[in-house]
Chains A and B, each alone.
Chain A
């Protein structure tokens, strides 16, 4: 399976009580990569993940998980952090982590040792023997994350792993994801915060309204958009203006337009020769956010931003 796909899904379809939640999603996650599933609230991210893991069966479509048609068979080498976090409130942090490992086949003793190691390395050493209910929400989430990876899975699936964490812990989680991937582990996570995906992922899937809008490399998503040119001239008007692309708009003294296919140089030459006088010029590669807007549409992007904002307020 070296160089193969950790997850492959084709045409996943799921409806709840007649209402379509996921409609024909294809996903291919290369082994050892970091993969993001992006979409606003209710897009179908969680439903897709649960189908991939076999917690629910798709109504139609196929999936293989680390080469297994029945996802539960791969359980010993998979780790999963559900969106709704859940731990037994009266168990101690060490026991919870060891228990989660044991569920996936890791002997309890080893699980306990690793739990102690992970907890103390992350400043939670004092909580080894404390019950979960004495932890803050973010700490409990960290403990659950440790329980998710204690058995050193080959595939880690995280549903909204960044939500509920402060900036420092979000940073730690990003490093942890990178470190796991560096060791060859495949990591797949869902998010509605584009920045996380942009920083971490090689490939993404964009889901909105249950449908797959894009699946592929982040760079490909970006390439769907032409780079944006921002230009300021000394002279207000002149014959040179006809050389600007038709879609150029002028806002607060700047012209803004997509980089022409022929590149910037011919245009610049015309402008200089025409005496426009170049005051300011920038060419920006679009970010994933702009790509997202282009792919999923303005409305969806606004929904995403709103859900992010709501989350941050919460």
Chain B
């Protein structure tokens, strides 16, 4: 056993150094940052264009007093609800026949309006396309009503006055906490899933190098295969920890800078420190479980192309398991949650969600022990597959051969 760890350490150290000094590593480090950056940019752009394009606009054909009153009523409503709750409004001065003007506005694409309102506050008439005008009429009715109240008060010489609402704050609101925790549960799962995918890609390219350079024969002759697998997985884990540390620090810094964490995030049920620890552990476990699978399957391939072909089903599987684990968030189906927690490839994702939602700690102790057992078993199976296929029939290297022989024999 001692020998295995010594040998694993030698392999781990080499892989670690080789990877950290490679160009791929820089790409790996910057991938999430670029990803987040691009995501942010695209978000900004789409948000802006959504604001421009996505919101219907209603032209109000009326004298200035009326359009002013409408605008005065519209602004606070939009502020209290949301921009999307109400259409935008645009004042248009009347010119001759109101109906003709409304039809002309709707007919021309340049005006960019979805509906036209005429008839002032007293007898509003709305023109528009059949599929949207009904909703727009209801929304505009709210604005018109507020505008009527406003001008009625003004007519009576009274100042427009909002009702005063006294605010009393409490520690928490159960509904919000649940929502926050669900969001946190999903966020934890997404982070683990996302990092695992990135790392799995690195692991694969590393394997391809090994395969194409034929080093594996030297390794297999010198050390037990378990040590080879263990070493590779440990190296990838160490590399991932560098990544996690850097991204984590940057992420936290960003959150502090832009939001001030405390008020923004709902604390997880197990508390922040334990949650972070569990997040790191479950990430490591998830990554190693998939990593072992990738090493086992990827090692069977003889070319980059084959590695890609082989990794595709795993990636799809990963997506499916991610979906399964996220389906357990916020619902009370104990059987399903238990099943997802027991199945090795969904266990870490399920458990990190549980840590956000439920304060009990013992399930995590059980889960950690279980995941370690699973990891051991998967590494063993991967080693066995490797021995029975690659080393015994390395020449032809068929796609299904590995699976056939690994399960048929022995």
Contact = CB atoms under 8 A, between A and B. Distances in A.
Contact of A86 (B11, B216, B224, B391): B216
Question: Interface size for chain B: under 10, 10 to 19, 20 to 34, or 35 or more residues?
Answer: 20 to 34
A99 B10 contact: yes
A17 B408 CA distance: 13
A82 B209 contact: no
A36 B62 CA distance: 106
Given A86-B214, A86-B216, A103 B209 contact: no
Contacts of B130: none
B391 A82 contact: no
Contacts of B10: 99, 102-103
A17 B405 CA distance: 10
Contact of B222 (A85, A89, A90, A103): A103
B219 interface: yes
B393 interface: yes
B392 interface: yes
Interface in A31-83: 50, 53-56, 72, 75, 78, 80, 82
Contact of B6 (A50, A82, A100, A105): A105
Interface in B191-220: 209, 213-220
Consensus secondary structure, chain A interface: loop
A103 B219 CA distance: 7
A80 B218 contact: yes
A67 to B, nearest CB: 17
A100 B392 contact: no
B213 A55 contact: no
B408 to A, nearest CB: 12
Contacts of A89: 209, 213
Contacts of A85: 214
Contact of A90 (B22, B214, B221, B224): B22
Contacts of B214: 82, 84-86
Nearest to A132: B213
Given A80-B218, A84-B214, A86-B214, A56 B209 contact: no
A87 B213 contact: yes
B217 A88 contact: no
B209 A88 contact: yes
Given A16-B392, A105-B6, A75 B221 contact: yes
Nearest to A99: B14
B223 interface: yes
B147 interface: no
A55 B18 contact: no
Given A56-B391, A102-B10, A103-B222, 17 more contacts: A54-B221, A55-B220, A75-B221, A75-B222, A82-B218, A84-B214, A86-B216, A87-B215, A88-B14, A88-B18, A88-B213, A88-B215, A90-B18, A99-B14, A103-B11, A103-B223, A105-B6
13 contacts: A16-B392, A54-B221, A55-B391, A56-B391, A72-B223, A78-B221, A80-B218, A84-B217, A86-B216, A87-B213, A89-B209, A90-B22, A103-B218
Interface of A: 16-17, 50, 53-56, 72, 75, 78, 80, 82, 84-91, 99-100, 102-105
